[in-house]
Structure formats: structure tokens, C-alpha cells
Structure 1
Amino acid sequence: MHPNTCVCEVCEQVDNRHRVIILQHPSEVGHSKGTVRVLQQCLTRVEVLVGESPASFSQQGLERLLTGTRTGLLFPCADSQPVESNAAGQIDQWLVLDGTWRKAAKILHLNPQLRQLPCFHFADPPASHYRIRKAPKAGQLSTAEAVAYLFTLTEPATDTEPLLRAQDVLIRKRLAFVPDHHKTKDHEAPDPELPGSLTNY
């Protein structure tokens, strides 16, 4: 990660009530476009596990984190329910996948135990402000945006603006290093499979 894309100085604490467990694809680690580090810097209750296979997550204690706790998976599945539904009120902590759409789906495919968790999606997600890369589809969000909107719905008393402000600083710093010939109108040329891309939630 380029030192000039560090956003530590603008990260303010967000005292989230629900713990967030992020399963991050290895290709996203240390990438200057990634927003998980915003969550790590701001949230008081967050765990980040890096991997792809069940063995890698097991070694990092995923089973322990899931035991005895009602965990919801934020990922649009065939049987997923809207976060806006009453069912989300029964969730104690949230599991979020971080990676491109294809790589996040691969994590889910390789870890069938995750499908045993109740799945949730956003019925009406906000527009993304992650201008580094154009979203391949409407409704896709960065991981930081997804978690911020999740808390807006499930714990409205929590101020999520620090997450969005830190992401905005990250975007502005990152775009400052992008050559003009790699930019479209106000961001880099879209590529849905490069790290830092957006994902449906």
C-alpha cells in the first residue's frame, strides 16, 4: 500500500453494537483501493479473516467466532431475506465477504457451512460513491459502504458517517496517483475482476 493512501489520520471511532466478521479474499490484502482497512481503523467490533478455503478460515478461528451467536451472512443468495425485514432484528453479528463479485462467490462456494447461516441482502441499496472503479451493475457497493448501510438499517443510533468520510479521503488520495490516460470521466476504467472492485450485497 502506498503510504500516501493511508487514511489513519481521518479515521474516527465507530462504536458498533453488532460485531462484523469480514472474510477477505487474499487478493484484496494490502491493496490501496481496498476499504476493509477503513473498517479496521474505525469499528470497535470487527474481525478480519483472510483466506479462501475452509482450512484457512478454521486456522484463524472462524468456528469459535460463529459458535453460540446468531450470525447473519450479508450476501444475496437464492433464499436471502432483505436486511430491512424483521428477521434481521434477530441477528447478533454479521458476516461479510470482501472481494470482487466472482471471488466473494467463490469463498461462499468453497465454504458450504456458510450457507447454513441466514442470508440477507439489501432491498434498496444506496448509490455507491466509490469512484475509483465504476460498478459493473447498479446496486453494488464497496465493503465499507455495505457495512455503513447495514448499520444504518440495523442500528440507526450508530453514526456511520466516519466510515464514509474516511472512504472519501481514500478515494481522493488514490485518484491523485492515477494517470490521466487511465481515467474515464472521474475514475479509473472499470474492470470488475481487479482488487478494489464493488460487490452486490
Structure 2
Amino acid sequence: MSRTLCDLCGLHTRLCVCDACLPVANQTAITILQHPSEVGRAKGTVRVLAQCLQSCRICIGESPVELARGGVDTDSLGSGVGLLFPGPDSRPLESAPPSDIKHWIVLDGTWRKAAKLVHLNPALKTLPSYHLVAPPPSRYIIRKAPGPGYLATAEAVAHLLATMEPGLDTTPIDHAMKVLVQRLLAQVPASLRHRYGSREEG
């Protein structure tokens, strides 16, 4: 049986959500450092950001050399760059959004692999880092989260942008994420869908 793939995201048209992605005119630059294991995953949400955001760059790699090959030299990020990643020295984003940060680095991978990205790229530890204090509940039920308060990458970026640019309309990301969940759930046997709850309907 032939497979119909999307020219933009490379996924089967049954799983593609490019048609559901509308533009978000963000002024805050977003760079996604994506762990190689996330590339091509049907459940990955970075493809939503790639299609929706006006200013978004995706760099695939794990080590500084791999990331540099992808166009991001972690040793030369410069000033005005922040890291969205919880750590011992990270600050709560919502309490006092930093006006001096115009470019955000966001990590895409499982919690363990995102932590490994930071470990392998010491320069990331020198960036001012922030964590989300009061994120909205995740509706990305198709993929198990490590615990309460965790968001999919696209959800985290949407919340980050809404915090940094209060007047920015990020609902296109929310809409695309809802469509993504619906299309992924459609591939799950009906007898098993109850395992994923019903938050996607909200």
C-alpha cells in the first residue's frame, strides 16, 4: 500500500497537522535544540512550532560539534539569550519576565535527554535560565509526562511567548496541538483510547 507523505513535515498525511497550523507573529526568537532521537517522531510537537512561528529555528544534535554543524554554536550565543530549563539556579519566568532576553533556547527531548543536552553543552549552563512556575495543564495526553506540571515542547513555547509578549495571539499553536492529539488518537484502536483520558476534548 502506498504511503502519502507531507512535503513539509515528511509524515503520513493522516498524522500531518500542517494544514492546521496558522501563523504566529512572534518577535521573540526561538531556537529549539532537538535531541536526534526526537527527529521524525509522529508524537513530536516541534513540527507545530516550525509551521506556526514566524521566528523559530530548529537545530538537531547532542554534542557541541553536532549542534555547530546544525548552525548553532553554543559557545557563541552572546548576550540577550536565555535558556528555558529548570535547574538549581533557574528563576521563575512568570514572576518577572526578563525584558532583556530577546532570544530563547528551548530543549526538545525526554527529560533525561534534555538534561544530557545541558550536560554535554556546558555553555548552556552559563545562560540565564528560567523555569515555568504556573504553566497551564498539559493537554498533550498522547505522550506520558514525567509528572504534573510538565508540558510538551510546543505547549511550553506557547506559554513562554504568551508571557514574554502578552499581546501575542498564541491560539494557533493550541489549535494545532489539539488537532495533533485528535489525529494521533485516531490511530489508536478504539478499545484502547480510554487509556488516554478525555482532555483533548476540552
TM over 0.5: yes
Q: 2:138 touches 2:151 (CA, 8 Å); kept in 1?
A: yes
TM-superposed CA distance for 1:144, in Å, is 0.5
User: Aligned-pair RMSD on alpha carbons?
Assistant: 1.7
Pair 1:63-2:73 in alignment: yes
The AA in structure 2 aligned to 1:9 is D
Within 5 Å, which residues of 2 pair with 1:1-201? Answer: 1-63=11-73, 67-86=77-96, 88-180=98-190, 182-186=192-196
CA contact 2:60–2:67 (8 Å) conserved in 1: yes
Write out per-residue CA displacement over residues 63-107 of structure 1, whole angstroms, 9 at most, x where no aligned residue. Answer: 389544411100001000011233622211100000010111111
Query: Structure 2: 5+ residue runs without aligned partners?
Result: 1-10, 198-202
Q: How has the CA–CA distance of structure 1 residues 75 and 64 changed in structure 2, closer, same or farther, with 3 Å as cutoff?
A: closer
Shift of 1:32: 0.8
Contact 1:69 1:93 in 2 (8 A): no
Q: Which protein shows a greater Rg?
A: 2
Would you say the 8 A contact 2:67–2:74 is kept in 1? no
The structure with higher relative contact order (CA 8 Å, sep 6+) is 1
Within 2, Cα distance between the matches of 1:91 and 1:178? 41
State the TM-score, normalized to the length of structure 2.
0.87
**Partner of 1:38: helix, strand, or coil?**
helix
Determine the structure 1 residue equivalent to 2:8. Answer: none
Unaligned runs of 5+ in 1: 188-201
Structure 1 runs of 4+ aligned residues shifted over 6 Å read none
Task: State the alpha-carbon separation in 2 of the partners of residues 87 and 159 from structure 1.
Answer: 18
Residues 1:136 and 1:149: Cα distance change in structure 2 (over 3 Å): same
SS at match of 1:5: coil
Instruction: Tell me the distance in 2 between the aligned counterparts of 1:78 and 1:87.
Output: 18
Identity of aligned residues (%): 50
